[in-house]
Amino acid sequence: MRIGTGYDIHRLVEGRPLILGGVKITYPKGLLGHSDADVLSHAIADSILGAAGLPDIGFYFPNTDPSIEGIDSQKILKRVVAEVEKKGFRLVNADSTLIAEEPHLGTYMPIIKKRLSKTLGLPENAIGIKATTNEGVGDLGQGMAIAAQAVCLLKKQ
């Protein structure tokens, strides 16, 4: 068994869609990044790669590669799962926390969980997603960014 952790943060800006866990969230701002900037999917991806002892998502999807600009992070997650499977691992579960002052994400959680279940090839009960605020502290607390933390468990096949 192997455990991995991941973290990602992106600034909120006007003129971009807000994508979390592969789901478009209704909000006037979105996350700035080379890909779709889905912090939740990126944190999960890094936790999976880390558990397998592989490089982070920047190695596989560098922000200097114009051919992947705007890439859907669900494609990133699928490739990450394929990479760890090549190393003989199977994803057992993933747990994550979104950190955002706004928007309120409670109603989106079941939709996000269903989307991640499909992408990761896991049952919904093997995926945890929680949301919290930063209690007004720092850039996260001022609503300037959204962050995510994730942990996962891999099992050697």
Question: Quick one: 2-156 is in which CATH superfamily?
Answer: 2-C-methyl-D-erythritol 2,4-cyclodiphosphate synthase (3.30.1330.50)
User: Cα(112)–Cα(124) distance, rounded to whole angstroms?
Assistant: 10
Domain ranges of the chain: 2-156
List, for residues 40-76, the tens digit of each pLDDT value: 999 999 999 999 999 999 999 999 999 999 999 999 9
pTM value is 0.97
pLDDT digits (tens, 9 = 90+) for 17-48: 999 999 999 999 999 999 999 999 999 999 99
Do 18 and 25 meet the contact criterion of CB atoms below 8 Å apart? yes
* DSSP SS3 for 80: helix
Q: What pLDDT, on a 0 to 100 scale, did the predictor assign at position 65?
A: 96
**Per-residue confidence (pLDDT) for residue 112, from 0 to 100:** 98
Cis omega before residue 103 (within 30°)? yes
- How would residue 108 be classed by pLDDT, with cut points 50, 70 and 90? very high
Residues 22, 41: contact at Cβ < 8 Å? yes
Q: In this predicted structure, what is the pLDDT of residue 139?
A: 93
Q: Give me the percent of the chain exceeding a pLDDT of 90.
A: 99
| Confidence (pLDDT) at 107 | 95
Average pLDDT estimate for 89-99: 98
